[in-house]
Structure 1
Amino acid sequence: MKKLFLCIGILSISFLNAQDISDVIRYSQQEIRGTARYRALSGAFGALGGDLSALHVNPAGSAVFLNSHGAITLSSQSINNDVVFGNDLNPFNNFRNTSSTNINFNQLGAVFIYDNYNSESSGINKISLGLTYDQTTDNKDEFVVLGTTRNSIDDLFLADAQGIQLGLITPRAGETIDGLYAFLGENEGVRAQQAFLGHETLIIEANDLDDPTGTGYSSNIASGVFDQDYIYESTGLNGKFTVNLGAQIDQDFYVGVNLNSHFISYDRFTEFFETNNNTGSAINEVLFTNRLSTIGAGFSAQVGAIAKVANILRLGASYESPTWYSIEEETTQRLETFSNANGTAIVNPDVVNIFPEYTLRTPAKYTGSVAILFGQQGLISMDYSFKDYSSSRLSSDNNNDFSNLNSFVEDNLQNAYTFRIGSEWRDGNWSYRGGYSFEKSPYKNTLILGNKNGFSAGFGYAFEQFKFDVAYDYTQQKRNDQLYPGSGFSNSVLIENYTENITLTASMNF
């Protein structure tokens, strides 16, 4: 059983915890991965309603249902990452493709309709009550990096070690590796732990071995050429449970409100392997593994309205409040080196770093929608949503200072919009659908994360009170990932992501 040690949190834009701008984006972006009909129209449902996933765009959509309705959805997702290893030796010349597939139960819910037969006195024609679960993010991802570079992982440990006294990261008589690693985490933070790992595995060495107060270090890895392998794997999902209340007023106006309970489940594993045969190098192999586990819970609210302006035209508007998340995380590490002259050195602390809980406030979301209906034959629907990602904020009740990271978020993130358009046409019991979506990057520098484009198609068949729907959707987005963000090791990869989903929904009126 691993020992548990509480690490007093210090601000670190580091790969070791979720207090990082990339994770702010991960938990701020919510894409309802809902019913097949919703996905076939690329989610353009803000002025339509009448779909269980549509009420997450506009809560008033629940009151559009004519009858009580329930649905369940399964989705198969395929992820392809084309990875190019950018480095100083062979810039963007090391290509690798990684693909993975998984199946998710991503939607379940029901809306209950209560007609008001005395609507003349109140103006309320019906009331709707919705209870739903929807997956908002699939955290599964993986890619592999293979390449040759002149940059070594020693840069990471050197940068963290500079300024830390040698005596602090040297075990005293009777002190164990686990004990010192835990002590550093509790009292000094991530940088000291990294320095300790690098020193104990002989990657770095003090400039003055006899001065315990010395703070200067050099590398035992000689400069030259390095072969590097890097594996990234993440799993988990984010989702939300929603209680919805809606109403139809005077036949042509719909209103609604959502109360949302969110959750986060995210696990990440990385493994880095480096080899070299450089002349004078005392270390010839490095194997560095890290695991991160993140859980979180949050709350948000939504309000919305839909108006029938004419038989052919509907307009919609909705507001989603910020989500306030409470987030906890744990990490483990292992570092191993090999020397042709001296053999193997391993530091595998039997310690789980538990970081203090912190709060993330995501940006609010505003959506405007328009739908054109051609009787019972078909429709065209458009949504425009807006978020200010620079307004995201982190805070803590544990005396953690997030001012630097919040300033970094404000300086590097921007206002971003999403545009969705979808169409549906009916032929008897059959329905045929298609859609397109565009999502602007939340980063001011789109080389970090590019704009996202997607398209979708699908069909449905209805008989009596039952409906079966199928959808296919595809998205494409580029990003540039530093292997260890915020560290002294600058190697990065260019990733072009292609994601495909096939979604099946079974639903019924009752």
Structure 2
Amino acid sequence: MKRILTFIMVLACTFASAQTIDDVLRYSTENMQGTARFQAMGGAFGALGGDLSAIGINPAGSAVFNFSEMSITGTNYNRNNDALFGNSLTNSTNNSLELNQVGGVFVFNSSNSPWKKIALAFNYDLVQNFDNEYFASGNTSLGIDNYFLNFAQGQALGPLRTQPGEFIEDAYLDIGSSLGYAAQQAFLGFQAGLIEPTEDDDNNTSYFSNADYSGVNQQFSQVTNGYNSKFTLNFAGQYQENLYLGAALNFHNVLYERFTYLDESGYAQDSPVQFASFDNFLHTEGYGFSFALGAIAKLNESIRVGGSYQSPTWYRLTDDTAQRINSNLAVSDIDFINFGIINLYEEYRIKTPEKYTGSFALVFGQDGLISLDYSYQDMSKAELRPNGDPSFAAENNFIASTLGAVNSYRLGGEYRIDEVSLRAGYRFEESPYENGDWIGDLNGFSAGIGYNFGGSRLDLAFSRTEQDVNSYFFDGGIDSAALVNQINTNISLGYVIKF
């Protein structure tokens, strides 16, 4: 009966978790999503407006609409990952289909006021789709025993033992809630037989590895899913003939899940450890809030300029984790520590940096347009909160010294031939790291076509981005990583109706 109640018992346990720079970057980055027209033109809409996803760049854009309209967009996401690890290259692909944009704008015209037009808009955008996976396989000199040794050194042996009559899963949960994450990882390594104390004494704090090797074969896979969605409420107005002003409130909803699986073999023939496996699960849920202000000015019939401010996003998040481990030396009950045994963590907060965008556009009457956006975001200002938490303070210092300013450029164009619109775009975004070897710059291009039926429009878009990322197997302990070349290809279909 006690084993059945273990899952319920852990729901009352909270303790400090180990959030890192990776969590900050995950929720600070908004990948280009939006309507098919928006994606086809590289998201370069800061000085244009007139598109529901454009209010995410510049909230003044809703006042550019001449008619009320609704739009809906679906996207097929294709992820292609080439993972280089231990001189071996492995390819993985993933496909998912999502309804990534739904919104509407209501336009109210006035002839007796300097405010010629008022617009109210709402829009749902999937700003980040976390559905992805990669697989890495290769030989390395850094075995998983080093992960557990890193956490075990300095931990007393006594708490790492199970007490008479105590179930192993209860001991695992108890040590996590009372002594923290490091002691819990040391417990796993000891119970799995991967590490041993130098002395058989409860006060011992020194450990050695049970694994003997010059190199080991590792197979690692990571599967992620979830989303970061943004629901926007927008208000904007056209003042006289040439000025548009707007504001927006953004409400984020976050769901993120990550499964990682590690299998290790290839030890020396006389090594006590002959195989090991270590799997981890992370589940994150939460919500966030931000606001935006913006303006667009028509300097003449052809030239438009825009500027916008996007506030920091304030997230409130909670994590829960689960683990499982095995080896040929593991205690017989090790399987009772599994993905059904959950560690709950206290709520934490993330503040992402504000973003500034300047935009310029040339409009050639009804024939077409060219648009350019430039955005600046200083990622070194990102923070984990509460600031008074010592572990957060240390990580925030690391963030401030490691991350830097991100300059982003988006270029888009559209050419109209009667009812047909041809579109293309280019996107470049600098690495958030001062040292671009950790995460490289992002490059992307896009193209699309639209057909105007008069009261409605059908849009099709293709977009492709590429970026190199050093993907670490674990958030701490050891720095094993695969260099992953990420190529994301989106095909989007959108429908717009005016009323």
Matching of residue 228 in structure 1 with residue 222 in structure 2: no
Q: What TM-score do you get using the length of structure 1 for normalisation?
A: 0.94
Matching of residue 260 in structure 1 with residue 240 in structure 2: no
Alignment of 1:481-500 (within 5 A): 481-487=471-477, 489-500=478-489
Aligned to 2:316: 326
Partners of 1:344 and 1:188 lie apart in 2 by: 22
Aligned to 1:298: 288
The letter of the residue matching 2:166 is: E
RMSD over equivalenced CA pairs, Å: 1.7
- Residue 52 of structure 2: SS of its match in structure 1? coil
The number of residues matched between the two structures is: 492
1:423 CA drift (Å): 0.5
Partners of 1:250 and 1:454 lie apart in 2 by: 38
Does the aligned pair in 1 maintain the 2:191–2:331 contact within 8 Å?
no
- Residue 42 of structure 1: SS of its match in structure 2? coil
Overall identity of the aligned pairs, in %: 40
Aligned to 2:16: 10
Does the aligned pair in 2 maintain the 1:50–1:61 contact within 8 Å?
yes
Aligned to 1:80: 80
Which ranges of structure 1 fall in alignment gaps of 5 or more residues?
13-18, 87-92
Partners of 1:225 and 1:436 lie apart in 2 by: 44
Aligned to 1:89: none
Partners of 1:459 and 1:337 lie apart in 2 by: 56
The letter of the residue matching 1:222 is: D
Partners of 1:356 and 1:62 lie apart in 2 by: 39
1:161 CA drift (Å): 0.5
1:8 CA drift (Å): 4.2
Aligned to 1:47: 47
Partners of 1:249 and 1:263 lie apart in 2 by: 34
Aligned to 1:15: none
1:44-70 CA distance string (max 9 Å, x none): 000000000011100000000000011
Aligned to 1:381: 371
Alignment of 1:292-441 (within 5 A): 292-339=282-329, 346=335, 348-349=337-338, 350-396=340-386, 401-441=391-431
1:159-198 CA distance string (max 9 Å, x none): 1111000001111112221221111111111111111011
Deviates more, 1:176-185 or 1:276-285: 276-285
Does the aligned pair in 1 maintain the 2:44–2:372 contact within 8 Å?
yes
Matching of residue 142 in structure 1 with residue 133 in structure 2: yes
Matching of residue 100 in structure 1 with residue 91 in structure 2: no
Partners of 1:396 and 1:68 lie apart in 2 by: 43
- Residue 77 of structure 1: SS of its match in structure 2? strand
Alignment of 1:189-204 (within 5 A): 189-204=180-195
1:486 CA drift (Å): 2.3
2:261 to 236, 258, 271: 271
Matching of residue 469 in structure 1 with residue 463 in structure 2: no
Partners of 2:457 and 2:495 lie apart in 1 by: 6
Which ranges of structure 2 fall in alignment gaps of 5 or more residues?
none
Alignment of 1:243-254 (within 5 A): 243-254=233-244
Aligned to 1:157: 148
- Residue 165 of structure 2: SS of its match in structure 1? coil
Partners of 2:466 and 2:389 lie apart in 1 by: 40
1:128 CA drift (Å): 0.2
1:343 CA drift (Å): 8.8
Partners of 1:343 and 1:130 lie apart in 2 by: 60
Partners of 2:331 and 2:280 lie apart in 1 by: 25
1:338 CA drift (Å): 1.6
Aligned to 1:16: none
Aligned to 1:506: 495
1:366-385 CA distance string (max 9 Å, x none): 00000001111010000000
Does the aligned pair in 1 maintain the 2:129–2:228 contact within 8 Å?
yes
1:148 CA drift (Å): 1.6
Does the aligned pair in 1 maintain the 2:192–2:331 contact within 8 Å?
no
Aligned to 1:187: 178
